């Protein structure tokens, strides 16, 4: 089956070549608008990432069995009250990011460690300062959470947990 989009192609099916058609004025304006939007968006992300104006970096708040949330560091204590005071900080499994959680919500079965409550996952720079995650890193964390979230059964009740090793 031939697919002809009008912008030029060589069809693998029939071998026909077509020259690309010129973009209309409206299409050119739309393309410029999209490029301008992407430029502005990139500048906004850069401003948050480098935090020169006192903006708070973004991190992931996760509770096993619930959707992860992207939150600012200013809201971290709302999700994890012990954040920055009495929390456990270690490398998140399968990633180069940091996970922070309340030690009272961790339980072990043999050598396996499971988290049964909220945690924060974030990135730090060489000085240990929290820096903003980018979209690819958020996706990487989401994939790790999907692989690591398990259902355990206790007294006939199923409970979602995050496997930490």
- pTM metric for this prediction: 0.63
Judgement on whether residues 107 and 35 belong to the same structural domain of the protein: no
Judgement on whether residues 130 and 86 belong to the same structural domain of the protein: yes
Judgement on whether residues 29 and 63 belong to the same structural domain of the protein: no
Domain span at 43: 21-54
Judgement on whether residues 36 and 72 belong to the same structural domain of the protein: no
pLDDT at 18: 65
Write the DSSP assignment of 67-111 as a string of letters.
--EEEEGGGHHHH-TTTTTTEEEEEPTTSSSEEEEEGGGEEEETT
Judgement on whether residues 46 and 121 belong to the same structural domain of the protein: no
pLDDT (tens digit per residue) in 72-98: 888 888 888 888 777 778 888 888 899
For the chain, the domain total comes to: 2
- Give the model's confidence band at 156: pLDDT under 50 very low, under 70 low, under 90 confident, else very high: confident
- How long is the chain? 165
């Amino acid at each position: 089956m031939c697919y002809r989009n009008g912008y030029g192609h060589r069809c693998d099916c029939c071998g026909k070549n077509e020259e690309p058609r010129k973009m209309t004025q409206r299409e050119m304006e739309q393309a410029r608008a999209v490029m301008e939007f992407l430029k502005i968006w990139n500048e906004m992300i850069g401003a948050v990432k480098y935090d020169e104006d006192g903006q708070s970096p973004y991190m992931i708040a996760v509770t096993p069995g619930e959707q992860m949330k992207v939150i600012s560091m200013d809201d971290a204590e709302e999700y994890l009250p012990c954040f920055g005071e009495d929390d456990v900080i270690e490398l998140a499994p399968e990633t180069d990011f940091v996970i922070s959680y309340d030690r009272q919500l961790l339980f072990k079965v043999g050598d396996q460690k499971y988290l049964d409550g909220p945690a924060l996952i974030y990135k730090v720079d060489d000085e240990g300062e929290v820096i903003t995650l980018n979209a690819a890193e958020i996706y990487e964390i989401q994939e790790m959470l999907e692989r690591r979230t398990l259902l355990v059964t206790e007294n006939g009740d199923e409970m979602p947990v995050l496997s930490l090793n």
